[in-house]
């Protein structure tokens, strides 16, 4: 007897799951299905799982495809199960291609082509549907977004749009998407919501077109490049009751949210100084370094330090000053220092693309300070430090994967709960980001800071 085993969360059981199970069953004589436990889903960063493990098991039982159902409870269990049950074939969806090749020493590994274009009409009767999301763009962040979306239950990446037909078709086929389009209207007609991962200077156009078509929007930072553009798209989103969200992943991660609550608690006294740095070294002809696409360190990275500064000091500042180092040939800033003066404190932001600095965050108060080591924007660990070191404390939190799953989860939650404005990145803060970005770009154009 040839034994086959497969695994999954199987939340909101749909046609794609059924198709995979049928194909796995056809590979042998006896199918074992491993269903992830609630605890294991949480430990591996799987977000928004709507059903308990027992509900998910019951749904698979009703299909009468599996000969045996087991619960997957920990990392590494797959190998134990293959040995324990004398498995001949390990089967898994092709979106995990190569991930489980290490099991080939113990059994045959088969990657089953995933079902493309899962529609809400194919979803099992439920209080929840599957959000059909399309991606505008096909670059590095878009590739990471698709990988991270697998960890959020209730969403399916349907297709992609791009002006370069060869590149967008390659991207869609690589990720086994249902479709690709170079016509924006045709693309928008096929999805419920969009994730925009195109160059900065295209964001406004794509946001506006998507909102006017009735689509919810998650857009990479910076959302837009000036204040008037922001006010325009906010007006459209409000009028049509659509979610408009900036994809600044830090704002939605567990460690950062805990950091904010502790900083605001008063434990370090009145906050007087916030210093946040973010840099990475980039060389070559990349979008981040092209003047024609509004490249440069501050447009690329500035939203992150602006996030923490606005969270702790607010958005009503007294003065603002930029000092930048420019690449003369590319005419983009490779390093920028921003100083924002408030009535009761000072915010410092450092961003670099061609200049490296320690990516730390320091929040200074009248009783102590908080130190977050690099990379602070992936907040996993921070320390409370006091004059008397006996009172020092250390905090640890998980930051899963690239962190994009946190923003995807929040985006889905806002759509399901019909919330237009939210506190993790409020409209007031979006306005602050846009104002500061516009000041930087206007100043850069009028006088080159060396």
Q: How many CB atoms lie within 10 A of CB 51?
A: 19
Same-domain status, 304 and 197: no
Of 53, 80, 112, the position where a domain reaches its end is 112
Going by pLDDT thresholds of 50, 70 and 90, the confidence category of residue 88 is very high
Number of Cβ atoms within 10 Å of the Cβ of 399: 20
Q: pTM value? A: 0.80
pLDDT surpasses 70 at 121: no
Residues written for the chain: 450
DSSP annotation string for 224-278: -SSHHHHHHHHHHHHHTT--EEE--GGGGSHHHHHHHHHHTTTTT-SEEEEEEEE
- Note the pLDDT of residue 294: 83
Same domain, 44 and 85: yes
**Is residue 10 domain-shared with residue 24, that is, in the same domain?**
yes
Same domain, 226 and 255: no
Provide the 8-state DSSP code for 425: T
b/e burial code for range 116-142 (CB count within 10 A of at least 16 → b): eebeeeebeeeebebbbbbbbbbbebb
Q: What is the pLDDT of residues 176-206, one digit of tens each?
A: 999 999 999 999 999 999 999 999 999 999 9
Domain termination residue (choose one: 78, 112, 146): 112
Given this model, what pLDDT does residue 34 score?
96
Q: End of a domain among 72, 93, 112?
A: 112
133 and 49 in a single domain? The answer is: no
* pLDDT for the residue 449: 47
pLDDT of residue 180: 97
Residue 291's pLDDT is 82
Domain identity same for 424 and 285: yes
Residues 127 and 260 in one domain: no
Strand order of the β-sheet with 89-93 is: 68-72, 30-36, 3-8, 89-93, 108-112
Instruction: Look at residue 387 and tell me whether its pLDDT is greater than 60.
Output: yes
Quick one: 296 and 281 in the same domain? yes
CATH of the domain at 130: 3.40.50.720
Asked if pLDDT for residue 284 goes beyond 90, the answer is: no
Assign residue 375 the CATH number of its domain: 3.30.360.10
Per DSSP bridges, beta strands 361-365 and 271-279 are antiparallel
CA distance 165 to 178: 15
Q: How confident is the model at residue 117 (pLDDT cuts 50, 70, 90)?
A: low
- Indicate whether 137 and 56 sit together in one domain: no
Residue 59's CATH number: 3.40.50.620
Both 423 and 341 in one domain: the answer is yes
Chain centre to alpha carbon of residue 252: 9
DSSP per position, 299-351: HHHTHHHHHHHHHHH-S--SEEEEEEEEETTTTEEEEEEEEEE-SS-EEEEEE
Q: What average pLDDT does range 74-96 have in this prediction?
A: 93
Closest of 389, 387, 330 to residue 364, by C-alpha: 387
Q: What is the rounded average pLDDT of the residues 412-436?
A: 90
Tens digits of per-residue pLDDT, 223-241? 999 999 999 999 999 999 9
What mean pLDDT is reported for the chain? Answer: 91
285 & 428 share domain: yes
| 332 and 196 within one domain | no
Helix (H) or strand (E) holding 217: strand 216-219
Q: What is the tens place of the pLDDT at every residue in 434-450?
A: 999 999 998 865 445 44
pLDDT for residue 450: 47
Range of the domain at 129: 120-247
Smallest CA-to-CA distance from 335 within 297, 299, 291, 306 is with 297
Does the pLDDT value for residue 123 go beyond 70?
A: no
- Total domains present in the chain: 3
């Amino acid at each position: 007897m040839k034994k086959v085993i497969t695994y999954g969360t199987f939340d909101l059981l749909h046609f794609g799951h059924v198709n995979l199970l049928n194909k796995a069953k056809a590979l042998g004589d006896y199918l074992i299905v491993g269903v992830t436990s609630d605890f294991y889903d949480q430990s591996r960063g799987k977000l928004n799982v709507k059903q308990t493990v027992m509900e998910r098991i019951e749904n698979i039982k009703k299909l009468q495809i599996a000969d045996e159902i087991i619960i997957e409870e920990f990392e590494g269990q797959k190998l134990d199960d293959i040995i324990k049950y004398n498995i001949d074939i390990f089967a898994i969806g092709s979106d995990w291609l190569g991930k489980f090749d290490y099991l080939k020493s113990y059994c045959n590994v088969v990657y089953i082509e995933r079902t493309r274009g899962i529609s809400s009409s194919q979803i099992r009767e439920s209080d929840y549907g599957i959000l059909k999301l399309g991606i505008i763009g096909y670059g590095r962040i878009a590739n990471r977004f698709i990988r991270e979306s697998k960890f959020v239950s209730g969403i399916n990446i349907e297709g992609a749009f791009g002006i370069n037909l060869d590149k967008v078709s390659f991207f869609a086929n690589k990720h086994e998407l249902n479709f690709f389009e170079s016509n924006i209207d045709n693309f928008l007609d096929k999805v419920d919501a969009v994730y925009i991962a195109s160059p900065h200077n295209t964001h406004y156009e794509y946001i506006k077109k998507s909102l006017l078509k009735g689509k919810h929007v998650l857009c990479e930072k910076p959302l837009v490049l000036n204040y008037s553009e922001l006010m325009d798209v906010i007006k459209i989103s409000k009028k049509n009751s659509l979610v408009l969200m900036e994809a600044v992943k830090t704002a939605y991660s567990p460690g950062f949210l805990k950091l904010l609550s502790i900083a605001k608690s008063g434990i370090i006294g009145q906050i007087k100084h916030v210093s946040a740095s973010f840099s990475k070294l980039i060389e070559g002809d990349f979008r981040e370094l092209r003047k024609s696409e509004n490249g440069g360190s501050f447009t690329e990275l500035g939203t992150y330090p602006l996030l923490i500064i606005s969270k702790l000091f607010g958005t009503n500042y007294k003065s603002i000053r930029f000092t930048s180092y420019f690449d003369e040939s590319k005419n983009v800033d490779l390093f920028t220092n921003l100083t924002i003066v408030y009535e009761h404190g000072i915010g410092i932001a450092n961003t670099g693309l061609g200049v490296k600095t320690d990516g730390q965050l320091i929040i200074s108060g009248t009783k102590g300070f908080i130190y977050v080591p690099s990379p602070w924007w992936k907040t996993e660990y921070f320390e409370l430090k006091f004059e008397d070191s006996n009172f020092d404390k250390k905090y640890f939190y998980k930051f899963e994967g690239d962190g994009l799953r946190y923003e995807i989860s929040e985006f889905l939650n806002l759509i399901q709960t019909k919330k237009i404005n939210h506190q993790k990145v409020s409209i007031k803060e979006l306005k602050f980001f846009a104002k500061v970005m516009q000041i930087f770009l206007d100043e850069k154009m009028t006088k080159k800071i060396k």
